[in-house]
Structures are given as C-alpha cells and as structure tokens.
Amino acid sequence: MDIEKQLSKYTPKQADCIRSYSIRDSDTYGKSTASGVKAGYAKESARSRASQLLNRPEVMEIIKAYRESEKEKLNHTLEAATDRLWAIADRCRDKDDADTTNELRATENIIKTFGGFIDKTELTTVDNAPVPDAQVAVDTSVAKRQALKLAKEA
C-alpha cells in the first residue's frame, strides 16, 4: 500500500492526525486526542474528531500499513546487525585484534537496542528454590526481600 497516496485523499489536518497517531517516533504515537491537537484541531473537538477519523475502516488500514512498514524497517535493521555480527565473528576467528573486539561489542549493543537479546533473571530463595513469577516484584530490592520472606515461611 502506498501510504502517502492514501493520505492524499484526506485534508492536511486529517493526514497529519493519521501520521501523528501512526508513526512510532511521534510524541503523540497511539494517542488520538494528542494527535488531533498536534494536527491542528481545537482542543475542545480534537478527541471526537480524531476518534471519528481514526476509527474509519480505511484509516485503520493506513495505520496498519504504517505499523507494518515500521516493523519491516526494524526487521531489516536487526537482520543487518545480525549479519554484521556474523561477519565480525568470522574475522575474529582469523585474527586477534582489539578493534574487532570493540566492533563486536558495538554490534552486540546494536542488537540489544532492537530487542535481539532478552536478559532473564531467575530469583531464588535462600534454599535455591525458584520464586514463582507471580510473586516476583519489578524492583529487585523488593524481590530479594520477598524471596527471603518466602524462605523463612518454608
């Protein structure tokens, strides 16, 4: 789908509202009222106007196309970083070079940025028994206190 061609069917305000709502880098991404205000609608009417616009089936298709194109860009970027990582790893086997090590670390960080690596931490009690996921708190200090408490109760 040619997104810009589809957007040309709408008024400049409508097109701006759709873009603001659909583009991930926008500060109003996913926020219909804020997208309406950013596009130029009055604050009093932005919520209803944006909602009416963004809920049209043809506009929902444009939003879907934006998200798919961003997903493709991310996949291409992640794929390129992964290819680069393999090329560097191949070079590392052939020579021992500090620059290659730094380049390899940089590429790993690029992949981490795009969610290519997932860091997982398993919390255990004092007796090395796993703490059930439902009982794990986001704050690690709270989680540690909770694990100690569970160990005392056991």
Other Cβ atoms closer than 10 A to 44: 8
| Chain mean position to CA 146 | 30
- Tens of pLDDT, residue by residue over 22-60, are 988 889 999 999 999 999 999 999 999 999 999 999 999
Looking at the predicted structure, is the pLDDT value of residue 98 above 60? Answer: no
> How far, in Å, CA of 99 to CA of 78, rounded?
22
Domain boundaries along the sequence of the chain: 3-63, 72-113, 120-154
Looking at residue 134, what is its pLDDT?
A: 47
- Tens of pLDDT, residue by residue over 130-142, are 766 544 444 455 6
Nearest to 65 by CA among 32, 17, 8, 23: 23
How far separated are the first and last CA of the chain, in Å rounded?
59
Looking at residue 143, what is its pLDDT?
A: 57
CATH class of segment(s) 3-63: mainly alpha
Indicate the range of 17-26, 39-48, 60-69, 92-101 predicted with least confidence. 92-101
Q: pTM of this prediction?
A: 0.52
